[in-house]
Structure 1
Amino acid sequence: MDVFMARQPIFDKEQQVFAYELLFRANENNWFQLGSRNLDQATAGVITNSFYNIGINEVTEGKRAFINFTANLLENEVVTILPKELIGVEILESVLPSEDVIKVCNRLKALGYFLVLDDFVYKPGFEELLEIVDIVKIDFLSTSPEERRDIVPRLGKYNVKFLAEKIETVEAFNEAVDLGYTYFQGYFFCKPILISSKEISGVKAHYLKLLEEVSRADMEFDNVEAIVLRDVSLTYKMLRYINSAVFGFQRKIESIKEAMVILGQVEIKKWLAVVALSLIGSDKPDEVIKTSLIRARFGELLAAKTSLKDQSADVFLMGLFSLIDVLIGRPIEQVLNEVLLPDKVKDALLGEQNKFNTILGIIKNYELNSWDQIAPLADELQIDYKDIRNAYLDALKWIDFLEYE
């Protein structure tokens, strides 16, 4: 059975990543159809892929991985093969608090495992389980304002923290903070907070201009060198990058020109775009930058498997700019009017239906665990679902080794 996995960040109140939930679906004959009988196999597949094939640190960057467990997996103590400091054991909402489940959870707690009650709705009979778990997850889309408000004092006697799930807007995040929730899961951080000022700050404008320059197909190598040499921060970052363990040179590279010759024009333009983006977003949550970079690399790898393979650099650029409104704090239409991007990139970012936009649709739906939306888009591009999965996982590996800060 093929298992398709994506990660979704879980934040603290400061919007720093606390953990990642590993979301997954299994495929047999149809796209991403997961029956209950396959859930155990799917979880086993995620464990195998993330811990043994890829490496959990590359998947979650050293953060805790929240993984769903069925009653069967809990009772067979599959959890104990995994390092307790690296996982959160999500007890699915379908798991009933039977005597066996309570016994296993007590044992896991004694061993030091971190236990999470998924999609919780209060029902009599869960008292013993609430005495054991560390976190209770509340789905903000399927509960009423009264339910998500009342659950906090109702469970006040238990030593649990609350995680607000499916937080898709900044308003929902603020509501959850005000209600006393500690952790937050969803893509609210990808929503722009528009600033009242009509002017982009000088620093952001400078690096936005740099992004525009390196996106030009006709940009000269000498121009790239001049841009780097005019910026002390870029010079330092490039020399640190070229002398990092990624390349493993036996001697130190001290010249920008030599560094650029080693990297080549295509790679140096890509690297500059990445660094410029990180500097534009220096006042935003780190995950916004990471998501932009993952989108860029994910899209580039997808394009290489389609008729867009000769335009993969432009697809990379599209992913990089896909959250520029969040980073700048202005509507994306305004930002794109101020930078010169390839027409297909700009059109896709503004929602026009073309092949670039189709790739962006695959990327966004993969993030959101909306597997059923991916199938028609993949068919349109004639791309195999295994290539989509592998491109996503390769993008996670790439971001782990990328030097841009």
Structure 2
Amino acid sequence: MNTEQAQTEAFVARQPIFDRHRHVYAYELLFRSGLKNAFGGMDPDRASIKVIADSFLRFGLQRLTGGKRAFINFTRDTLVKGYATLLPKDSIVVEILEDVEQDHEVFDACRELKQRGYVIALDDVICDDWDNPLVGFADIIKVDFRASNDRTKAALPGLVAARKIKALAEKIETRAEFDEAVALGYTYLQGYFFSKPLVLSGRDVPGVKHRYLELLREINRTDLDFGDVEGVIKREPSLTYKLMTYINSVAFSFRNRITSVRQSLALLGEDAVRKWASVVALAGLAHEQPSELLVSSLIRARFCEVIAASVKLEERGQELFLMGLFSLLDAITGRPMHDVLANLPLADDIKMALLDRNRLRDVLACVLAYEQAEWETFGLFAAKLRLDEGETARIYLEAVEWATSSYAGANGSR
């Protein structure tokens, strides 16, 4: 990659923001500029908004957020220079950072944004900060849930509701914190709580979900037997329905309608059967979980699969897909990862990667660092794997788009 390309390359990850029902309301977009953070003599605030604008033009908001709103951080200069108005008001939330210097130019910029219909969020507002003039422009106020004391956490929702402002609790990392924030009256909740396993002692997998685990076992056997896979599918009507819907979709456009499970499997072939069955089985297991859990699994799967060639593991792309897909199995099933993997016939090094650390774990760790915008850690793993960083932004966005589409397909046929 040449110097000019490196300077304008944009890296973007996203963190989900949920409503009280664990549905995704929006994503906060987390940016890092090019490989060396080098923009020559360009003003850093202008450089930041250029990265954002270029990303929207290059990739499109739909690909980044699946049609959800995007929370974007704005500094003082990007506010007063009006860069927010370059972006569609119905697609973003203007997030004003806590260190923004308050003056008449900032107030005028916020007033104009409100008049134009933009949603404004204030970051890290504290309960005794109501004299802050920016509060008068806010639609959403964010509070660091972990850093706040019990009095602040409890008082904020009621105080902002009186001002017709919604409270957002960020850095929600466990299900217990989510439940606490909901009970206190927070409207929105942000963090990776959904990806942390809520392991219940002695928990069994209920009813039909046994079929999904059985399907995962069958399709991951080295000697895949379509007869055995057919037997599992036929014993669960919903799986038969999903397979028939999939094979007769416009994605294939067969001249004659396919009505046989065995014929469907033969037409798909081993690799496609493994991928289809893995996605559908995971969707079934995650049925009562936040949708973002399955979407994140799909993003990881596709990300791992596509970078396989870049890290000299192209012959194992299918297995890396499964490694990414199964990386949240503990959170999906509510069982320890070791117990879930014990009955799945995966390659030993894939199991080790999901449980501990080996070279394949480095691939997953690299993907997770990018996903969570831990840019320094991502750079270290990318260097270790000899991964071209310049390709990862494109791969991630392609994985997001693929995952969104795949989730819609799996969810639509449930």
Calculate the TM-score normalised by the size of structure 2: 0.89
Alignment of 1:1-400 (within 5 A): 1-29=8-36, 37-49=43-55, 51-121=56-126, 127-155=132-160, 157-247=162-252, 252-351=257-356, 353-400=357-404
Partner of 2:320, secondary structure, is helix
Q: How big is the shift at 1:354?
A: 1.0
Answer yes or no: is the 8 Å Cα contact 2:45–2:77 preserved in 1: no
Partner of 2:186, secondary structure, is coil
Partner of 1:136, secondary structure, is strand
d(CA) in 2 for partners of 1:262, 1:214: 16
Partner of 2:164, secondary structure, is coil
Q: How big is the shift at 1:329?
A: 1.1
Q: How big is the shift at 1:5?
A: 0.3
Answer yes or no: is the 8 Å Cα contact 1:84–1:114 preserved in 2: yes
What does the per-residue CA deviation read over 1:324-359, in whole Å, with 9 as the maximum and x for residues that have no partner? 1111111112222232221111111111x2121111
Question: Which residue of structure 1 lines up, in the alignment, with residue 410 of structure 2?
Answer: 404
d(CA) in 2 for partners of 1:240, 1:172: 40
Q: How big is the shift at 1:139?
A: 1.6
Gapped regions of structure 1 (runs ≥ 5):
none
Q: How big is the shift at 1:191?
A: 1.1
Partner of 2:10, secondary structure, is strand
What does the per-residue CA deviation read over 1:348-390, in whole Å, with 9 as the maximum and x for residues that have no partner? 1111x21211111112222222111112211221111122222
Partner of 1:322, secondary structure, is helix
Moved more, 308-317 or 232-241: 232-241
Answer yes or no: is the 8 Å Cα contact 2:13–2:371 preserved in 1: yes
Distance 1:386 1:223, change over 3 A: farther
Q: How big is the shift at 1:304?
A: 2.3
Answer yes or no: is the 8 Å Cα contact 2:214–2:232 preserved in 1: no
d(CA) in 2 for partners of 1:15, 1:374: 28
Task: Give, as a single letter, the amino acid of the residue that structure 2 aligns with 1:367.
Answer: E
Task: Give, as a single letter, the amino acid of the residue that structure 1 aligns with 2:388.
Answer: D
d(CA) in 2 for partners of 1:98, 1:250: 67
Distance 1:269 1:278, change over 3 A: same
What does the per-residue CA deviation read over 1:80-102, in whole Å, with 9 as the maximum and x for residues that have no partner? 23222111111122222321221
CA RMSD in angstroms comes to 2.5
d(CA) in 2 for partners of 1:119, 1:3: 26
Answer yes or no: is the 8 Å Cα contact 1:195–1:329 preserved in 2: yes
Partner of 2:276, secondary structure, is helix
Tell me the number of residue pairs that the alignment of Structure 1 and Structure 2 aligns: 401
Q: How big is the shift at 1:78?
A: 2.1
d(CA) in 2 for partners of 1:341, 1:80: 50
d(CA) in 2 for partners of 1:23, 1:122: 26
Distance 1:29 1:273, change over 3 A: same
What does the per-residue CA deviation read over 1:150-195, in whole Å, with 9 as the maximum and x for residues that have no partner? 4445545422111111111122222322332111110011111122
Task: Give, as a single letter, the amino acid of the residue that structure 2 aligns with 1:42.
Answer: S
Distance 1:203 1:125, change over 3 A: closer
Work out the percentage of aligned pairs sharing the same amino acid.
40
Distance 1:124 1:145, change over 3 A: closer
Q: How big is the shift at 1:252?
A: 4.7
Q: How big is the shift at 1:257?
A: 4.6
Calculate the TM-score normalised by the size of structure 1: 0.91
